[in-house]
Structure 1
Amino acid sequence: MISKKRIAIKFVFVVLSYLLVSGYAKVRCTESEREALLTFKNGLIDEQGVLSSWRGNECCKWRGVECSNTTGHVITLQIYMDYVGELQGEVRSSLLELHHLNSLALSSIYFGGIPMQEFIGSMKHLQHLSLSGCNFSGSIPSQLGNLTNLSTLDLSGNYFGGIPFPEFIGSMKQLQHLSLRGCNFSGSIPPQLGNLTNLRTLDLSGNYFGGIPFPEFIGSTKQLQHLSLSCCNFSGSIPPQLGNLTHLCTLDLSHNSLSSISPFMFGSVFGSLETLHLSDNQFTGLMPSLRVFPSLIELDLSKNNFTGSVPLSIGQLSKLQLLDLSHNSLEGLVPPSIGQLSELQFLDLSYNSLKGLISESHFIKLNKLYRLDLSFNPLLMLDNAPDWSPPFQLNYINLARCNVGQFPKWIQTQMNLFHLDLSGANITDEAPIWLWNMSSSLHYLYLYENQISGTVPNISSMSIWCMDLSYNQFSGHIPSFPAYAYVVLLSGNMFSGSISSICKTLQENLNYLDLSNNQLEGEVPNCWENMPNLETLNLANNNFSGDIPLSLGDIYRLTILRMHSNNLSGELPNSLRHCQRLRFIDVEGNKLTGEIPTWIGQLNGMLFLNLRGNKLHDCFNNFTVLSGENEPLSALENEFIFRPTLIYKYLPAGPVPRIERYGYSSFQWKGKEYEYWKNIRLLKLIDFSSNRLSGNIPKSFSTMRGLRSLNLSRNSLTGNIILDIGELEVLDSLDLSRNQLSGQIPTSLAEIHTLGFLDLSNNDLSGKIPTSTQLQSFNVSAYAGNDGLCGDPLPKCPGDILRPPTTNSEENMKEKDGSIFSFMQEVGISMGFGFIFGFWGVIGSFIMKKPWRIAFFNMFDDTRDWLYVRIAVFVSKWRQS
């Protein structure tokens, strides 16, 4: 009996379920709405098949389409792209046929920079509108103000060309979520925004509001929970009105120019605040009290100028997951209470002046920590027991410029380590064997500028992408490099012997190789085809001998070639002409012979060409290097070529090291040896000094408009200095000394107003030094050894002494008025008669009166003797000084 009742109940349940499902199955989208959607689709280019499901009659099952369960009308159209460009085209007005649509999201569909369509403002039933990342431009149509039912508006990631912030948004009083991030608005934020009293989320980050003060009226939006105004260029202080936002959970004001915090930050009004980002501003003074933020999950106060110490109350923020106080002026000890933050995952105290010991107590409960950065605190010392087993598993460790001392043994317990930076950490220890057997996750290893000793074994099986061991005390042979390495920097060590081991493996990814300043010797191997993507090669300051290998010409991406201060011989190989990206060649201080090859003239991007101190010879007349006007490098190209850290930046998933290191050490500049690091990328230099060059200076040199330094000294050049040398309008240093140049100094040289160093000494130049502010400012030594030269700063030319002065103003006056000439004739006649009567009046008296003659010549002799003594004394004192 009971079983029959159960069967009956189940039957009724099945029937009702069938009827219910059948009833819903009959609800389907209308034909007009299906056609409207298909028309919208036809306006898009869908090469990836994103909307491949849009076929058949049942549009309610299409991707991104949602229908009402009761009426069947389309109520939601949401198409989100994984990346911009998967879909592109236009927004067609057929969407107006979707009369019941209340949610429209077309995020990251590429609409090609067209203005936003005005008809969208007629879709008055919309409650949610998201058109983020669609590449709209122009202005936002005012018709959008008609959408008074909107609770969500997201237009972020479009480019509205610096237009003022749209005031009509202040009339959309139902708005709860407003995101206009990265829209390139300018001017100011209209106060009408304070009318949005229902606002819960406001994101205006990434707009440029021109240094205006922080908008006080935002304090009127008292229901606000999430406020993001980063990268808006606000200035001044955070106003006290922000204290009205007692429901705030997220506050992001990073990357502005704010300079002070109002007292509200020290109150207790932000008990619910979970995220506080104030990084990259201009805040000064003591850090705000942290105990008033008990709910904080993320705290970022980095890149300011906060002073004082890390607050002891930091240990009370029990929910804290991210703590970034880096790039401030904090001093004192790191409180052990930081070790009580059991939820902490990200800890960055780098670039401060913290001091004292960091021991196990600072990490006692940090079992969730995955990133630790204490770098650039020189007085911070690590004090961990050799057998300490930390509670965490880090993937990022940065202790650069701390006082580490011995190589930390606890690092070998970190099985997930991705990035290890111990550079400049005062380590005086031998590299442990376990370091070279780290887990396969280690991709970045920075140990440079320590006193780490030992040898480096075969590490070809390691997963290293970037390895910098430079300026230590490593010895032995150069190891085989990791197979996937992009950057290998081993300079400034005591590696010795041959580098033939680099030929054993194919290094397809290697981009930057620096083996300079070691004790390497033998021939440079001829296997560079194994490194087809190499851009920078530095073998300088070693003992390499033999020829420069031909296979360097197989590296078509080669940009920087530095082989100076070796014992290389032979000629520059012609194969290098295939390296059309070369911008930096330095082979100074070798024993290269032959001519300067003409193919160098085809390298139009050349910035730095240093052939100084070799045995290059022969005629110099046909040299056409850099004869074209080079386009200036973009800022990115400059940085990428001369800063290894920028190379790190473009590696897969790689963090950017914070130590800025540049690509050069020293060279001749303005007659002296200089070390250059940061400014090398700004230099355009040619140095052919101390060779055996002959012939004339090529006229093509005058076309090198961007040249900043030209050094042709200590050769056997003849002929004249090129007349158009003044075309080198940004030249800062010119050295043509110790040649056999003749003729006059071109007057165009006086037109180079940037010239800061000049040496034309020890040639056969003659004539007057051209007059200019620049040329007369150099010392006499700049022109010494040219017997025919004269004029300031050398002694005056003979013609200058005899020639009476004539001014242009007198000549102009003579040309303008002929009466002046006749007047001067009359004056001249009068002066002539006056001279005759005056002269013979005196001379006649001397002839007639002998006592007068004797008295006059005695006075003359006395005056001459007095003047001679005065001059002799003055010259003697001048020589002594």
Structure 2
Amino acid sequence: MAKAAMDTLQLSCIQIAIALLLLTQAKSTTEDTSPLHPNDTSISCIADERSALLAFRAGLSDPANLLSSWKGNDCCRWKGVYCSNRTSNVVRLDLRGPYCKNGDQTQVLAGNISSSLLGLKYLRHLDLSCNRFDKIQIPEFIGSLHKLRYLDLSMSMFIGRIPPQLGNLSNLQYLDLETYSYTSVDSSFHSDTYSTDITWLSQLTSVEHLDMTGVNLSTIVHWLPVMNMLPTLKFLCLRACQLRGSPDSLQFSNLTSLETLDISGNDFQKRCTPNWFWDLTSLKHLDISNNGFYGPFPDVIGNMTSIVELVLSRNNLVGMIPSSMKNLCNLERLLSFGNNINGNITELFHRLPSCSWNKLQDLFLPISNLTGSLPTTMVKSFSNLSRLYLSHNKLTGHVPQWIGELTKLTTLALDSNKLDGVIDEGHLSRLDMLKELTLSDNSIAITVSPTWVPPFSLNWIGLRSCQLGPRFPTWLQWQTHVVSLDVSNTSINDMVPDWFWIAASSVVFLNIRNNQITGVLPSTMEFMRAEAMDFSSNQLGGSIPKLPINITYLDLSRNNLVGPLPLDFGAPRLRTLVLYDNIISGAIPSSLCKLESLRLLDLSRNNLNGSITDCLVNETGTNMTGLSITNLSLRDNNLSGGFPSLLQKCPRLIVLDLGHNQFSGALPAWIGEKLSSLSFLRLRSNMFHGHIPVELTMLVKLQYLDLAYNNISGSIPRFMLNCTCMMQTRFNTNGLQNAFSSRVLADENELVDYTENLTVLTKGQERLYTGEIIYMVNLDLSCNSLTGAIPAEISTLVALKSLNLSWNNFKGNIPENIGALIQVESLDLSHNELSGEIPSSLSALTSLSRLNLSYNNLGGKIPTGNQLQTLEDQASIYVGNPSLCGPPLSRRCPHPEPIPGENDGDASDDLVSFFLAMGSGYVMGLWVVFCTFLFKRRWRVLWYLLCDSLYDWVYVHVAVTWSSFRGKING
């Protein structure tokens, strides 16, 4: 008994000892990972580790001096350095940069990562994320920091291969290697890091969080079995990894702890079901968006009863969501942007799980082809809904009053539907938490009392094309924290109140275009926060004040602005300035040269006058080297002087329109060298003279050239052979499109849009072109004094849609191969001195809709066929050419004299044809008779009887006649 008692006591002591040991280890672990409190002066760092940190810092580039605190002996008090309270060892190094939050590329660390970090032998936490190590690979030596449990290298612009040595970090619980970037040309995604073998991941048996967003894994086929070897994994993100295959199933799944799975942005291109992830019923967050999945929404969704967030956006799923979704009693967020649900909105609401109505926070279903009207009544169980996003669907009817009961709503987006009716205070008065209200492009009238004070403070207001007017909506004065405000095309016919400029002073994107707003721009405009403003198509008057310092886009076109342009624009970041259709006068100031970021400038249809002065020096007193402008339109003004020498400093110029001014002098030879990027050049209706410079042969990108209505002489230089864009039926229009358009996007909605409105003289009339001008290939040299022959090489410009050489002094023949211009729609060669016959190849121009060859010296027969017979008013095409003959003219062409023997062959052919026809008819007649007798027995009998009777009659008459004849001879 005593022995048993002693054994029990001994066992208890052992248990107590083990418990104390475990407690000590836990305490040690806690102490090792806890950071030093800033006020704790009892801890000082270890000298070797301080040296390691200083060596590490020496390899870094720190332009913002973020590590300015790294001085003195106590490294445990340095920024981002955390030491153990027990051992003083550095256990955590947190140097996460601010780049991911504010995008400021100057407030980051760069340079090299020194292997001196290996001196931090007890380092458990390393965070170098959100910096810019954009020229180095992830160092292999990091794999030797064996005690690491946390490693974050995300968003730091590393390049190259992910080192497989990271697999040596067997204690790692958190690994984030996220990286991605976008090209500057087309905004397409590309990856800077890659891995061709991810088997090293299987060694991270303790990892719970794994994020490899943007890492190029396109060569990895069997990626899922590797992930399946990580049983502790709770978070897995493989977004935009260029994965190709998604297996149907896993035979044995070890991912039983997985709670978050994000495989969005890959290229699986397969049916949505079967797929392995539908079997992970413990998932709480699933994102399979933008993967090319197709087919109906799968019923197996209903098996994922733990799901909290389900993201299915940007696939090709079709049909109504399945009724099995009623099983998802934990659902809080449903995102299905861009799928084709193609069903009634009321039915969709009924299929949402009623057991989670009081949990649902986010319903994001834009561009889903939803139809019908919002239900007039809705249960109050949607009490926690914070985002209702149903924009870009086909919803009809009124906005129901129950919207106003969603008191936790922060986003209400119903824009781009077919909704109508009225929204009043009852819809809005209880939405205290509302931050975004977008109702644009509906037929909704917002009717509230002029004295109504809204309970919310909005950041985003989109009411484009709603009915707000005619008075200026006074409730906007209480919205003083708005980032984006769009009240364009809202029937406001009122003077802009002073309070509006105060409320709008904090707005970044401001759009009030296409109303009837009067008044003047505020003198305090320079203090506004705006980056993009569109005030076009109103009745604003007064002069243009100094602009906001941060503005990049400004459209004041189609107003009544007067006075000169400001001597100081005050907007160094301005990229787009649109001022056409105003009454602005005076000269173009030299301050324009200070806008070094300017890309698009449209001052057309104003009263500007005088010559354009060159930019001699900038603010610092140094010579100007070049402007960034790509589109310059000064047409329809009273500008004078020679071809502006300022343009020599615009090497990126793609579009230049100086038409309808009073410019004079000769075209300079430097156009071909200095403006080599020109695609669109219009100088019509000026007073330029002299020859067309041969140097224009250097403008290989030119696709639109208009020199009409000048006094240019000489012959056409044979430069057309070099105009590649006039010779190719397919060419890249991206450059020209970017030059003609300047869009500003706010969130996912286009806030302001400038597309050049351009009139082009073609097909005998002036036509308005907008976006399609980029496809217009035009050569117009009409109404000048050009001489000589039309070069035969002009037929190589097969991309031309309009060719106008009228009202010149061209002589000689029309080029024989003119029919090679297969895309030409308008061809005008009238009022010249052309002679010879009209080439028959003209009939090959199947796209031709207007032709004018009048008032020349053409002769001979007018060609016929194909498109030439369908042209309108055909007689006017050829008038003024007295030697032409044949249809459609009344003058007949004379018949040529026959040449002896020329038609003998034809007579023989006619005779042969006659005998062949006669013989065929004879045979056919006999064949008809034969077939009749073959099938009609009665007819055969009658025919033979007739033949017998006829034979007997003939025989008797012949015998009698012969006997009588013989008797006369003998007698």
Do they fold alike, i.e. is TM over 0.5? yes
1:560 aligns to 2:631 (yes or no): yes
Work out the CA distance in 1 between the residues paired with 2:284 and 2:509. Answer: 39
Residue 541 of structure 1 pairs with residue 605 of structure 2 = yes
Distance 1:471 1:803 in 2: 74
Partner of 2:418: 353
- Asked if 2 retains the 8 angstrom alpha-carbon contact of 1:239 and 1:261, the reply is no
Summarize the Cα distance change of 1:414–1:262 in structure 2 as closer, same or farther, 3 Å threshold.
closer
Contact 2:565 2:588 in 1 (8 A): no
Q: Indicate the SS of the match to 1:667.
A: strand
TM-superposed deviation, 1:421:
1.1
Does 2:313 match 1:254?
yes
2:142 aligned with 1:112: no
Determine the structure 2 residue equivalent to 1:420. 485
1:644 to 734, 738, 742: 742
Aligned to 2:773: 680
Q: Cα distance 1:720–1:503, how it changes in 2: closer, same or farther (>3 A)? A: farther
Q: Which residue of 2 aligns with 1:663?
A: 756
> What is residue 595 of structure 1 aligned with on the other side?
666
User: Following the alignment from structure 2 to structure 1, what is the Cα–Cα distance between the partners of residues 609 and 268?
Assistant: 61
Q: 1:576 to 1:170 in 2, by over 3 A?
A: closer
In structure 2, what is the equivalent of residue 232 of structure 1?
A: 291
Deviation at 1:537, TM superposition (A): 2.0
Matched residue SS, 2:684: coil
CA–CA separation in structure 2 for the residues paired with 1:194 and 1:530: 67
How big is the shift at 1:371? Answer: 1.8
Q: Distance in 2 between matches of 1:431 and 1:266?
A: 51
The worse-fitting range, judged by mean Cα deviation, of 127-136 and 470-479 is: 127-136
Q: Does 1:79 align with 2:127?
A: yes
Q: 1:586 to 1:101 in 2, by over 3 A?
A: closer
Q: Distance in 2 between matches of 1:171 and 1:368?
A: 43
Give the aligned partner of residue 473 of structure 1: 539
| Distance in 1, Cα, partners of 2:899 & 2:171 | 95
SS of residue in 2 equivalent to 1:89: coil
Amino acid at match of 2:577: L
CA shift for structure 1 position 231: 0.9
Contact 2:212 2:238 in 1 (8 A): yes
Task: Tell me, yes or no, if structure 1 residue 300 matches structure 2 residue 364.
Answer: yes
Which residue number in structure 1 is paired with residue 955 of structure 2? none
Q: Equivalent residues in 2 for 1:676-715 (5 A)?
A: 676-694=769-787, 708-715=801-808
Structure 1 equivalent of residue 39 of structure 2? none
Contact 2:396/2:420 (<8 A) preserved: yes
Q: Does 2:591 correspond to 1:516?
A: no
SS of the residue 2:566 aligns to:
helix
Which is worse superposed, 658-667 or 138-147? Answer: 138-147
Deviation string, structure 1 residues 716-774 (Cα, Å, up to 9, x no partner): 44566678878878665544433344567789988988766554444445678899977
AA partner of residue 141 (structure 1): I
C-alpha separation between the residues in 2 aligned to 1:688 and 1:530?
35
Alignment check: 8 A CA contact 1:610 1:685 kept: no
Write the deviation string for residues 470-523 of structure 1: whole angstroms up to 9, x where unpaired: 112223444443344322212222334x3x241144432222222222334454
Partner residue in 2 for 1:219: 278
Alpha-carbon distance in 2 for matches of 1:233, 1:370 = 33
Taking structure 1 as reference, are residues 790 and 507 closer, same or farther at Cα in structure 2, changes over 3 Å only? farther
Unaligned runs of 5+ in 2: 1-22, 35-47, 76-80, 96-119, 181-191, 618-623, 701-721, 916-971
Question: For residue 852 of structure 1, what is the aligned residue in structure 2?
Answer: none
Other-structure match for 2:228 = 171
Deviations 1:258-285 (A, max 9, x none): 1123433662x22221221111122211
Q: Give the 5 Å matches for 1:617-636.
A: 617-620=689-692, 622=694, 624=696, 626-627=699-700, 628-629=722-723
- The answer to whether structure 1 residue 488 and structure 2 residue 488 are counterparts is no
1:279-298 to structure 2, matched below 5 A, reads 279-287=337-345, 288-289=348-349, 291=354, 292-298=356-362
1:454 CA displacement? 2.6
Q: Choose the corresponding residue for 1:611, options 663, 677, 683.
A: 683
Q: Given that residues 527 and 548 in structure 2 are in contact (C-alpha distance below 8 angstroms), is that contact kept between their aligned partners in structure 1?
A: yes
Inter-partner Cα distance in structure 1 for 2:365 and 2:321: 16
Pair 1:439–1:402, CA change in 2 (3 A): closer
Cα distance change of structure 1 residues 356 and 492 upon mapping to structure 2, 3 Å threshold:
same
Shift of residue 45 of structure 1?
7.5
Alignment partner of 1:318 is 2:364: no
Distance 1:604 1:705 in 2: 22
User: SS of 1:449's equivalent?
Assistant: coil
C-alpha change, 1:768 and 1:828, in structure 2 (3 Å) is closer
User: 2:680 is aligned with what amino acid?
Assistant: F
For each residue in 1:598-650, what CA deviation from the matched residue of structure 2 results, as whole angstroms up to 9, or x when unmatched? Answer: 333332222222223334343347462524456898676455322221xx24x
State the 1:377 CA deviation: 0.8
Distance 1:105 1:562, change over 3 A: closer
Q: CA deviation at 1:205?
A: 0.5
Change in Cα spacing, 1:101 to 1:687, as seen in structure 2 (3 Å) is: same
Letter in 2 for 1:614: N
Alignment of structure 1 residues 183-194 onto 2, 5 Å: 183-192=241-250
Rounded to whole Å, the distance in 1 between the matches of 2:863 and 2:163 is 67
Contact 2:301 2:325 (8 Å CA) reproduced? no
Given the alignment, which residue of 63, 66, 88 partners 2:93? 63
Once residues 168 and 46 of structure 1 are traced to their aligned partners in structure 2, the CA distance between those partners, rounded to angstroms, is 39
Closer, same or farther: CA 448–262 of 1 in aligned 2, 3 Å = closer
Counterpart-to-counterpart distance in 2, 1:784 and 1:59? 100
CA deviation after TM superposition for structure 1 residue 662, in Å: 1.1
Deviations 1:792-830 (CA, angstroms, capped at 9, x unpaired): 9889998999899x9xxxxxxxxxxxxxxxxxxxx9899
Match of 2:179 among 130, 133, 142: 133
Q: How does 1:702-741 map to 2 (within 5 A)?
A: 708-718=801-811, 733-741=826-834
Structure 1 gap ranges (5+): 1-15, 28-33, 66-71, 807-826, 839-881
The TM-score with structure 1 as length reference comes to 0.75
Alpha-carbon distance between aligned partners in 1 of 2:759 and 2:154, rounded to the nearest angstrom? 52
Name the counterpart of 1:89. Answer: 137
Contact 2:476 2:503 in 1 (8 A): no
Q: Which amino acid aligns with 1:573?
A: P
Does the aligned pair in 2 maintain the 1:161–1:184 contact within 8 Å?
Answer: yes
Q: Distance in 1 between matches of 2:541 and 2:899?
A: 73
Alpha-carbon offset, residue 78 of structure 1: 3.7
- Equivalent pair of 1:153/1:177 in contact (CA under 8 Å): yes
Q: 1:762 to 1:574 in 2, by over 3 A?
A: farther
Cα shift at 1:222: 0.8
Cα 1:151–1:419 change in 2 (3 A) is: closer
Of structures 1 and 2, the larger Rg is shown by: 2
Is contact 1:396-1:417 (8 Å) kept?
yes
Per the TM alignment, residue 109 of structure 1 is displaced from its structure 2 partner at its CA by 5.1
- The structure-2 alpha-carbon separation of the partners of 1:526 and 1:771, relative to structure 1 and needing over 3 Å to count, comes to farther
Give SS of 2:264's match. coil
Cα distance change, pair 139–25 in 1 and its aligned pair in 2 (3 A): closer
Q: Tell me if the contact between 1:200 and 1:223 (Cα under 8 Å) persists in the aligned partners.
A: yes
| Change over 3 Å in CA distance of 1:802–1:424 after alignment to 2 | farther
- Kindly indicate whether the alpha-carbon contact (under 8 Å) linking 2:610 and 2:639 is maintained by their aligned counterparts in 1: yes
Task: Please tell me the residue identity of whatever aligns with 2:760.
Answer: F
Give the whole-Å Cα distance in 2 for the aligned partners of 1:579 and 1:26: 59
> Does structure 2 retain, via aligned residues, the 8 Å contact 1:178–1:201?
yes
- Count of aligned residue pairs for this structure pair: 772
- Across the aligned residues of Structure 1 and Structure 2, the Cα RMSD in angstroms comes to 4.7
Shift of 1:139: 3.2
Q: What amino acid sits opposite 1:666 in the alignment?
A: T
